């Protein structure tokens, strides 16, 4: 794995998001080899500018910062995953494509479901179409999915489930390119997750709102999310979904740890529309096609042309649910402490700073 990225030209769509930024940082670290270029493709020029300034460790945008974009290893391209021509152009010289572009806010996707279709489904199809029609020599495309794509109950989950199918079936349309997917649940303190919400509520005196005291969630750090991507790039076979084997926690234990000794209470407000009580990373239907892969599970393709047989000894006998892997309160508190989310560690940090 040390030479995984040597000389590679990598494109990260949605590269200014929480995961995208951490991925780019890892790719540029040299831990997995030295890439020829890492291109961040997204539509937000302000976020790209902030990321460029952080990369160059500069506070003032002088001419040498704002220009020379394509002379550096880290490059920025403005474009929309929904725009086929923009996608095709950025993929022309790519060896590896990481698709982290997504509409992931559940309520927004419910109010505007076709917007989720355009980004999460049509965006993925644009990548596959560009490689197919232009015969681009892309080696690997990796799609970043979510637990909400497994047994989906929301528009966001449904569109991500279709995105998985688009990428995995593309192995038949583009036999020279390997298409793979990673799927995981809550990423600790990522943009839009519950932890920044709880921290804001605590800082404003509470209450901390709990939808249901029985609720559980898988917990994954940003670094673990990036590890999942790099392991998939190294080991995953065509048409596979790679899933990390991670612990889960009661939402009430997360809230209790973050509150600590603050004069703040928890308030149960009831499940939101479409919200799941527990997360599922592998469904009952996928379990017979699931194998162990080190610290991960790999779900083999449903299509017999890609994975001709099911494993003789599946790794799971039923669904992989957060309800079955709940940590104790002590373990939950230790995990949050280790990741800088205890009261002491965040005393002087805003929730925005925790997202960097």
pLDDT (tens digit per residue) in 116-136: 999 999 999 999 999 999 999
Helix (H, G, I), strand (E, B) or coil at 199: helix
Structure tokens belonging to residue 313: 């000894």
Q: Which of 90-94, 192-196, 224-228, 306-310 has the lowest mean pLDDT?
A: 192-196
pTM for the full predicted model: 0.91
- pLDDT beyond 50 at 21: yes
> Worst-scoring range by mean pLDDT, 94-103, 165-174, 264-273?
264-273
| Known catalytic membership, residue 148 | yes
pLDDT at residue 61 in the model = 58
Q: How far apart are CA 219 and CA 193, in angstroms?
A: 11
Alpha carbons 244 and 271: distance in angstroms, whole number = 27
Q: Please tell me the predicted confidence (pLDDT) of residue 343.
A: 67
Q: Classify residue 269 as exposed, middle or buried by CB count within 10 Å of its CB (0-12, 13-18, 19+).
A: exposed
Q: What are phi and psi of 120, to 5 degrees?
A: -80, -30
pLDDT digits (tens, 9 = 90+) for 245-261: 999 999 999 999 999 98
Helix (H, G, I), strand (E, B) or coil at 272: coil
> What's the pLDDT band for 185 if we cut at 50, 70, 90?
confident
When pLDDT is averaged across residues 267-279 and rounded to a whole number, the result is 91
Give the residue-averaged pLDDT of 79-97: 98
- The rounded mean pLDDT for the chain is 91
User: What per-residue confidence (pLDDT) applies to 254?
Assistant: 94
- Please report the pLDDT score of residue 13 as a whole number: 98
CB 41 within 8 Å of CB 79? yes
pLDDT at 352 over 60: no
Question: Do β-strands 9-13 and 96-99 pair in parallel, antiparallel, or remain unpaired?
Answer: parallel
143 vs 197: CA distance, rounded Å: 27
Percent of the chain scored above 90 by pLDDT? 79
Q: Is the model's pLDDT at 274 over the cut of 60?
A: yes
Top CATH class of 1-184 equals alpha beta
| pLDDT recorded at residue 351 | 41
Which H helix or E strand runs over 253?
helix 251-259
CATH code 3.40.50.720 region(s) in the chain? 1-184, 186-356
Q: How confident is the model at residue 353, as a pLDDT?
A: 40
Averaged over 37-66, what is the pLDDT?
85
The confidence band for 354, taking pLDDT boundaries of 50, 70 and 90, is: very low
Q: Is the pLDDT of residue 203 over 80?
A: yes
Average pLDDT estimate for 322-333: 94
Q: Would the pLDDT of 303 be above 80? A: yes
Determine which one of 148, 151, 160, 276 is catalytic.
148
pLDDT of residue 67: 84
pLDDT, residue 171, reads 98
Q: Which has the higher per-residue pLDDT, 7 or 193?
A: 7
Indicate if the pLDDT at residue 170 is higher than 60.
Answer: yes
87 pLDDT band (50/70/90 cuts)? very high
**Which parts of 72-154 fold into alpha helices (H)?**
84-91, 106-111, 113-116, 123-133
Judged against a pLDDT cut of 70, whether residue 62 lies above it is answered with no
**The pLDDT value given to residue 139:** 98
105 is written with which tokens?
């806010």
Domain topology for 186-356: Rossmann fold (3.40.50)
């Amino acid at each position: 794995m040390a030479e995984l990225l040597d000389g590679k030209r990598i494109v990260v769509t949605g590269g200014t998001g929480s995961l995208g930024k951490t991925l780019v940082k890892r790719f540029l670290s040299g831990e997995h080899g030295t890439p020829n270029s890492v291109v961040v493709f997204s539509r937000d020029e302000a976020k790209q500018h902030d990321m460029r300034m952080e990369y160059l460790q500069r506070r003032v945008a002088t001419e040498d910062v704002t220009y020379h974009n394509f002379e550096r290893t880290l490059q920025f391209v403005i474009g929309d995953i929904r725009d086929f021509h923009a996608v095709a152009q950025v993929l022309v010289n790519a060896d590896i494509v990481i698709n982290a572009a997504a509409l992931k806010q559940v309520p927004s996707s419910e109010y505007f479901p076709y917007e989720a279709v355009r980004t999460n489904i049509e965006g993925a199809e644009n990548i596959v179409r560009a490689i197919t029609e232009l015969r681009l020599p892309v080696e690997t495309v990796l799609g970043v999915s979510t637990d909400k794509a497994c047994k989906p109950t929301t528009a966001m989950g449904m569109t991500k489930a279709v995105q998985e199918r688009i990428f995995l079936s593309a192995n038949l349309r583009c036999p020279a390119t390997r298409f793979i997917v990673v799927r995981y649940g809550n990423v600790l303190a990522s943009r839009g997750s519950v932890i920044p919400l709880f921290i804001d509520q605590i800082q404003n005196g509470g209450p901390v709102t709990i939808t249901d005291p029985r609720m559980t969630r898988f917990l994954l750090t940003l670094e673990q999310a990036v590890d999942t991507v790099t392991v998939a790039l190294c080991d995953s076979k065509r048409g596979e979904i790679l899933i990390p084997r991670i612990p889960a926690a009661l939402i009430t234990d997360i809230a209790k740890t973050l509150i600590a000794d603050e004069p703040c209470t928890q308030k149960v407000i009831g499940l939101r529309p479409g919200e799941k009580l527990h997360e599922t990373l592998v469904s009952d239907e996928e379990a017979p096609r699931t194998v162990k892969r080190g610290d991960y599970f790999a779900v083999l393709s449903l299509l017999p042309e890609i994975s001709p047989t099911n494993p003789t000894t599946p790794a799971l006998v039923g669904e992989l649910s957060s309800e079955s892997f709940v940590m104790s309160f002590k373990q939950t508190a230790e995990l949050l402490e280790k990741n800088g989310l205890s009261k002491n560690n965040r005393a002087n940090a805003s929730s925005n700073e925790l997202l960097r």
